[in-house]
Amino acid sequence: MGLIFSLSLRNLLRQKRRNFLLGMAISFGMMILVIANSFSHGMVDVLINEVVANAFGHIVIDNNYGSSFPVIRDRQKMETIIKETIAPEELDEINENLAIFGRAIGNGEADNIIVVGLEVNTEQKKKQVFNNFFTLVEGDFNDFYSNEYEYPVIISPEKAKSLNVKLHDVIKVRLPMVTGQIQAAQLTVVAIANANNTFMDIVAFMDAGRVKKLVGYKPWESSQIQITLKNPKKNAKLYADQLHQKLQPRLLTFTGNIDGESIQLVAFKNDNLTKDAIKKQINLVAGDYETVLGKKGVMLNRELAAKLKLQVGDEFIFTYLTKFRGDYEEKFTLEGIYESTGLLNKNIVLVNEERVHNFYNAYLPMNVGWEELNNQPAVANLITTEWKLLPRSKDNEELQKINRAERKLNSKQVKFNVVTMYEGASQILQLESALNLVTAGAILILFMIILVGVINTLRMTIKERTREIGTVRAIGMQKSDVRNMFLMETLLLTAISCITGIILGIIVMGILGLITFNIDNALSMILKDKHLNFKLNPVAVCISFIQIMIISLVTAYFPARRAAKLTAVEALRHYE
């Protein structure tokens, strides 16, 4: 084998020019392949890991329906569910997506702005954010936490320019609040810095706690929750499914009192099926069905109404203990009195869910549920849930479809949704597939070059070396050795060319990566720190290398076999 290897190498060097040209063609193809593959990987890496993951996390728990702001009322509970579901070694971070769109005025210049809350609670996170995420241009990151300023912010040089502000200048902002009210504030520029992706140029970064306070989140509330995982590709969908399971809502019924009388509030569903079922279970003795089952419907059974001395049209106060805000009083107007049996004849107030959703989320009850419902499916089926858990979607298109359908329902019920970035940003993944197709096209062209080049080279080589084949066969070289010699030549040529192509590709990527692109258009989203981001995927390169080797081997096999089949006499007789 050693002899065949050295013979093949010697033969390759004998035809330097021809082999050099073929090798160059293969090298060039391989270089293009490496660059294209690295570019598509790099671009998707920027879009997914820098833009999407930074902005939305790997898994998002969202409840943004019906209002401009997502408000998760019980952050602690949500965090507990997340920590119970995701293994600690797999969980990187739990963050809030606090991004408030508003209007800003600097020194005589106005512009739109997004105030983003940064949660920088640990030294490690500070290091990560201030050393890796930002590149300081002017100012001091330590002032980000300073109590000297009411609202210290970090802005980009572009935003500073558009608002005509300098370090320590004040920016006036107008922002919407969680409640829909308008808030105004004065932000002080404590640092001007470039974020590592150009999407952030419009943003003013502020400490998350201050942003929450500014726009009216209560200490126990949270915005949309973003979960960052250590191994998102492997675990994001798995954990999203598990979180979805754990977010199953309870029935919306809780205990309170009317004039000291313990009462169970039962929120019935606002759909026609439920309303028909209620009509079958009760006999209305005062009021009309249209009103009592309508969006403001409130009913008591006859015995309870008598005990509380209430008649249709009377107002009464239902008081209950909330989880975060002490006792809460809700004023109801009695719309109907009914007769019934069983559970519906107990101390309950039946209220249309839309009426309950009006106050329920802002004033979460300490305890939700009713033990007596356990063996009462007929009544349990009438009751709505504390929130609606939207189904998991397979891609962005399905997600949008679900969202549109929910908006049309226009219910005040809170909706929860669990989405991974792979569904939320499925279009980006589709983009990667498209780019991979382009890469596949490049491979195909490369194959053609190899196919034509190798066949042609071998044909010429065999023709030129027919007498030589006769000589080596005459002195005892076996058929298989002749064949292997030609195959080895081809493999050596392809391997050397491919490795050269890979090295050239890495050099070209290095050079291209040094170029700074100062662009503000959509193309900037594929840049990392204003540079092209090439991400060499060693596995993909190895696979391509092996594929090319196999193709060249297969291509060379048949001419090599033909050469091997020549008899010594026949070959020696050959004359050109």
Partner 1 sequence: MKKYFLLSILMMTALASTVFASPKVNDLLKAIDNITELKTDGTAQITMTQQRDKEGVKVWDSIYYRRDKDDSFLIVFTAPESEKGNGYLKQGDNMWMYKRNTRTFQHINRDESIAGTEAKAEDFENKKLVDLYQPAVDKSGKEILSETKLGDVPVYQFEVKSKIENVAYPKRIYWIRKDNYLPLKVQSFSLNGTLMQTAYFLKYTQIQGKYMFVKAIFIDEFEKAKTIVEIKNISVRKIEDHIFTKAYLENLSK
Binding site for partner 1 (CB under 8 A): 66-68, 103, 105, 110, 172, 174, 176-177, 179-185, 216, 362, 404, 407-408, 410
Task: Quickly tell me which residue has 């009426």 as its tokens.
Answer: 355
Nearer to partner 1 (CB atom), residue 175 or residue 442: 175
The minimum distance between CB 407 and partner 1, in angstroms, equals: 4
Give the up-direction half-sphere exposure of residue 279: CA atoms within 13 A in the CB hemisphere: 12
The minimum distance between CB 295 and partner 1, in angstroms, equals: 9
Nearer to partner 1 (CB atom), residue 67 or residue 524: 67
Nearer to partner 1 (CB atom), residue 362 or residue 495: 362
The minimum distance between CB 163 and partner 1, in angstroms, equals: 13
The minimum distance between CB 172 and partner 1, in angstroms, equals: 7
- DSSP class of residue 517 equals -
CA dist 358 and 105 (Å) reads 35
Nearer to partner 1 (CB atom), residue 179 or residue 480: 179
**Secondary structure (3-state) at 232:** helix
Do 528 and 41 touch, CB atoms closer than 8 A?
no
- DSSP class of residue 345 equals G
The minimum distance between CB 108 and partner 1, in angstroms, equals: 8
Nearer to partner 1 (CB atom), residue 7 or residue 105: 105
The minimum distance between CB 188 and partner 1, in angstroms, equals: 15
The minimum distance between CB 83 and partner 1, in angstroms, equals: 32
**Secondary structure (3-state) at 251:** strand
CA dist 268 and 353 (Å) reads 5
Nearer to partner 1 (CB atom), residue 18 or residue 174: 174
Sign of CA dihedral 105, 108, 112, 117: negative
The minimum distance between CB 293 and partner 1, in angstroms, equals: 17
Q: Residue length, the chain?
A: 576
Structure tokens belonging to residue 319: 């008081």
CA dist 530 and 218 (Å) reads 38
Beta strands in 76-133 (DSSP E): 91-97, 99-105, 110-118
Nearer to partner 1 (CB atom), residue 77 or residue 172: 172
∠ at Cα 228 (222, 231), nearest 5°?
Answer: 160
Nearer to partner 1 (CB atom), residue 179 or residue 333: 179
Nearer to partner 1 (CB atom), residue 112 or residue 480: 112
The minimum distance between CB 192 and partner 1, in angstroms, equals: 23
SS (H, E, C) 146-215: CCCCCCEEEECHHHHHHCCCCCCCEEEEEEECCCCCEEEEEEEEEEEEEECCHHHHHEEEEEHHHHHHHH
CA dist 205 and 117 (Å) reads 6
